[in-house]
A and B are shown apart, each in its own frame.
Chain A
Amino acid sequence: MTTIVRRKRVTALLALSLSLALSACGAQNASQNAAGPAAEGQAPANTEASAAPEASTEPSKSDEPLVVYLNDFDEIIQPMFEQATGYKLELVSGNGAELASRIEAEKGNPHWDVVWMDSMPMIDQLGKSGHLLEGWTPADIGNLTDFASGLVPASGAYYPTGAHAAAVIAYNTKAFTKDTAPKTWADLTDAKFKNTLGMADPAVAAPAYPFVSWFFQNQGMDAAKGYFDSLFKNGMHVYPKNPNVAKALTGGEIKAAALQESNAYALKNKGEPVDIIWPAEGAPASVRVAAIQKETKHLEAAKAFVEFLLDPKTQQELIDKGEESYFEPSAKGVNAKADRAADAKLVVAEAAWAGEKEGEIKQWFADKAVK
């Protein structure tokens, strides 16, 4: 009896797995046959494929969702946008590096319509290599703050929606007071802070690059290398990412740090003994920008999305309800978090310059770390 039951089950399982395997095999054989000529025949096939669906999807445009790649605000943006505009939205969220990698690998056949991340140099490079929609100006462009409109490229390939400090000076209030803590970036090389400081690794942590690149552009390559060398000589602890820096700061391993803005405010809000200093010369900023993919099939929805992000109402809601809520809005008439310092001054390395030098600077840090 049990034998029969068992046999039936095994047969059913076998049948299932076989049918799965067969369909998979069929798929693979087909693709393999085609794989040979594909290498040369790719270009014409490409244009054909992209031309055909465009005509057929024209009438049902609003049914196909807009695909956005983003690294923050994935928890609230979808319902916000869908309710405001009626367009459907699908998200791929991940950290900036994962998404950059996906975008790069998809170059032959992009799946995204809009990218919205705080990686301006990377997106600038994307525009330079001709992957972004250019020459389009959002309706409300006049409402950008002076700081934000200075960041818009001539090509109009991307628009900033906000900026946050890639690093501020955060210190443990048990070790320092407002007067004894380091107050400028130059202070970090001071011998009295020997072995008490920490920062995130620019070769690993995404926000650490906008931080160091400002020094490299501002001071020149060699002077900046000298500056960071003297930081290392002063016993600067380098941690892979900002959260590790935050942990070391509250754990007592270090007493002050160059720490990303939202990490620093998160510590303060949790009641940790941490306070924040905005250096008068400015905190290097990480700028969040939105860009439209050149070949997008959902141009109207994509434009609507970018304009939606530039809308003061949207930015206010992101500040009030979002998780990455500590940032300087790019639209006028929006209030930043009440506890964000009023004198917060942001400075930015030029996107084109930072994008070009990114590989070289990061490699310098990576090889430095091994020695």
Chain B
Amino acid sequence: MLAVLFVLILLPLLAVVVQVLFPGIFFGTLKIGDLSLLLDIFRRPLWYASLKNSVLLGLGTTVLATLLGGALAFARSRWAFRTARLLDVSVWLLLITPSFILAQGWVMFAAPDGLASQWLGWNGATRMVFQPAGLIAVMTLSKFPLAFLTVKAALEWRVERLSDAARLSGASPWTVLRTVELPLLLPAICSGAMLVFMDTVGDFGLPASIAAVFRFPTLPYSIYSALYTSPIRFDMAGALSFYLVLLIALAMSVQLYAMRKSRFDFLSSRAVKSEPRRPAKGGALLALGNAAFLAVAIGIPLGSNLLMSLQGDSAGGGFTLEHYRALFRDGGRLAQGLAHSLEIALAAAAIGLVVGFLTAYVLNYTRFKLKKTIDVLSLVSLAVPGIVLGIGYIFIWNQAWLQPIGLLLYGTPWILALGGVAGAIPVITRIMAGAMAQVPERLLAAAQLQGAGFSRRLRTVLAPLVKGALLSAGLTAFGSSVFDLALSSVLYPPNYMTLPVVINKAFEDLRFGYASAATLTGAGLVVLIILSVDLLARGTRRSSRRTTS
């Protein structure tokens, strides 16, 4: 397990960080680099600002998005209300839509000549959004799905007896929530917070998109400049990546400290599947609140893109479907890119699910000494910008000696799949670990006593109990790898364009309408796939329960 994570995530990252020490190591020259680069972060104004901004954005978003995502997940699994299904769809949409598209949507909305001032006559939007607090708010609205999904997966099973006992002892519903239910959710909440933090500090789309209006350089932004402006400086990217990893390590230690000593495996045979109930009162209010929230979180970023995709090219031109028609004309380039991306994402999700499931198992049920290391490793690829991993992949998988043994993966689609797996592991592992934390080891031990082997225990005991989480994890991984731009733009093999590469190219050629149309079409298709798989799986589950009971 450790080896897999090592090869997929740590090795490529190390390959970049080591550039600080030995700049020419992969090209056959061994010379010592300039270590003072590491201290430059306190000397160079741009780097220092990047570090400060990353910390600020990361902390602010983590707190807000975890609160928001957790609260929504709680409401969603406790109460049934209209528009609840809409919330699920929106969460998937937000999760798989690449952050640069979301950010672009916000920019189109709030820029000085944006939709808010043009259509709504609201000029305050620019000042509200383009300041640190505004960016934290935008980030929160983009990243809360990570916290939502982790907490929701953990709420799949409920041990009513615990809450009932508290209620019988005279506790108010609020006290039960505060002292029994929330503490039991701590692992899931922490996992969610961790995911949000990682994804936020590693996010490149937002600082890049808003740079047109407001200068807010972050670490990934400066790393990107080191890698993507000539002269290419791998060593500088390595030095900045080092600080990014340091931030992650700090965050992990805070989490470990918060969760020391506690046990959370409270599921027993008395656990019941939690079904949302109709609230006694306020159902309409919930529905209304939810709809209003979604109008902002989804409506603004995706709505702006939708408007863009429908707007004619000429200034002041009316609405048109021209851009959508263009999608199918372009020599099938888009369709081909989409097919490639779906293939890659499927392979990445399948492999990632196996790796992530086993990783989560190791984290939860073994006494393996390097557990903590695995824990950290499984998260790193979320925070390390895709381009850093991508460059690292080239270093590792493009060495001439790999050719005779058939492992020269760079230049083949396999490298994209591997990259996809690395990108998928953090999310899968966190979602799985959150769910597994509730399945007590004794359930597995009992099965073992009855003579069930390892694979049988996983198959018949553990997997069914965490099936909801498995499904969420697999689908999330699938959805987000389809749009993985950073990785595929550095790694895609000749004549093997992927969807995000095609979209990004359209953005660079100023074909905003085409790019928006392509994004929405691609995202729509992926959401459709996800929802139908989700529906199919849950549907069969329900009917199978009926047949067996």
Query: Are A and B bound to each other?
Result: yes
- The residues of A with any CB-CB pair to B shorter than 8 Å are 1-3, 5-6, 13-14, 16-18, 20-21, 24-25, 27-32, 34-35, 38-39, 41-43, 45-46, 49-50, 52-53, 65, 67, 90-98, 100-102, 104-109, 111, 119, 121-122, 125, 203-204, 206, 209, 239-241, 243-244, 246-247, 250-253, 263, 266, 270-272, 323, 355, 358-359, 362-363, 366-367, 369-371
Please name all residues of chain A whose beta carbon is closer than 8 Å to the beta carbon of B168 when the two chains form the complex.
none
Residues from 186 to 234 in B contacting A, C-beta threshold 8 Å: 208, 211-212, 215, 217, 225, 227-234
Please name all residues of chain B whose beta carbon is closer than 8 Å to the beta carbon of A45 when the two chains form the complex.
400-401
23 contacts between A and B (CB under 8 A): A2-B547, A3-B547, A14-B459, A17-B351, A24-B351, A28-B4, A32-B7, A42-B28, A45-B401, A90-B494, A92-B494, A97-B230, A98-B490, A100-B230, A102-B394, A105-B394, A105-B398, A111-B410, A251-B112, A263-B510, A363-B44, A367-B46, A370-B215
Find the residue from A96, A111, A263 having the highest chain B CB count within 10 A.
A111
| Cross-chain contact of B401 among A27, A38, A67, A244 (Cβ < 8 A) | A38
| Cross-chain contact of A240 among B212, B387, B494 (Cβ < 8 A) | B212
Q: How far is the CB of A121 from chain B (nearest CB, A)?
A: 7
Task: Identify 20 new A-B residue pairs, CB closer than 8 A, beyond the known A94-B505, A111-B411, A111-B494.
Answer: A2-B543, A3-B547, A20-B347, A42-B399, A45-B401, A50-B400, A91-B495, A92-B494, A95-B508, A101-B490, A107-B26, A108-B399, A108-B400, A122-B231, A243-B508, A270-B314, A271-B315, A366-B225, A370-B46, A370-B215
A97 adjacent to B540 (CB under 8 Å): no
Q: How far is the CB of B41 from chain A (nearest CB, A)?
A: 13
Closest to B25 in A: A39
Please name all residues of chain B whose beta carbon is closer than 8 Å to the beta carbon of A246 when the two chains form the complex.
510
Q: How far is the CB of A83 from chain B (nearest CB, A)?
A: 16
Residues from 394 to 427 in B contacting A, C-beta threshold 8 Å: 394-395, 398-405, 407-411, 418, 421
B492 proximal to A (CB < 8 A): yes
Chain B interface mostly? helix
Find the residue from B215, B355, B399 having the highest chain A CB count within 10 A.
B399
Closest to A28 in B: B7
A43 adjacent to B3 (CB under 8 Å): no
Given contacts A20-B347, A94-B489, A358-B230, contact A109 B400 (CB under 8 A): yes
What are the nearest 8 A-B pairs in CB distance? A45-B401, A90-B494, A97-B228, A105-B394, A49-B400, A17-B350, A21-B354, A104-B232
Given contacts A2-B540, A28-B7, contact A105 B492 (CB under 8 A): no
Q: How far is the CB of A289 from chain B (nearest CB, A)?
A: 14
| Cross-chain contact of B28 among A94, A108, A206, A244 (Cβ < 8 A) | A108
B27 proximal to A (CB < 8 A): yes
A369 adjacent to B215 (CB under 8 Å): yes
B28 adjacent to A251 (CB under 8 Å): no
**Distance A20 CA – B350 CA, assembled complex (angstroms):** 8
**Distance A5 CA – B547 CA, assembled complex (angstroms):** 13
Please name all residues of chain A whose beta carbon is closer than 8 Å to the beta carbon of B26 when the two chains form the complex.
107-108
B350 adjacent to A90 (CB under 8 Å): no
Please name all residues of chain B whose beta carbon is closer than 8 Å to the beta carbon of A204 when the two chains form the complex.
211, 225, 229
Given contacts A21-B351, A43-B28, A46-B400, contact A105 B230 (CB under 8 A): no
Please name all residues of chain B whose beta carbon is closer than 8 Å to the beta carbon of A31 when the two chains form the complex.
7, 402, 407
B494 adjacent to A1 (CB under 8 Å): no
B275 proximal to A (CB < 8 A): no
Q: How far is the CB of B46 from chain A (nearest CB, A)?
A: 5
B227 adjacent to A101 (CB under 8 Å): yes
Q: How far is the CB of B360 from chain A (nearest CB, A)?
A: 15
Q: How far is the CB of A239 from chain B (nearest CB, A)?
A: 6
B544 adjacent to A97 (CB under 8 Å): no
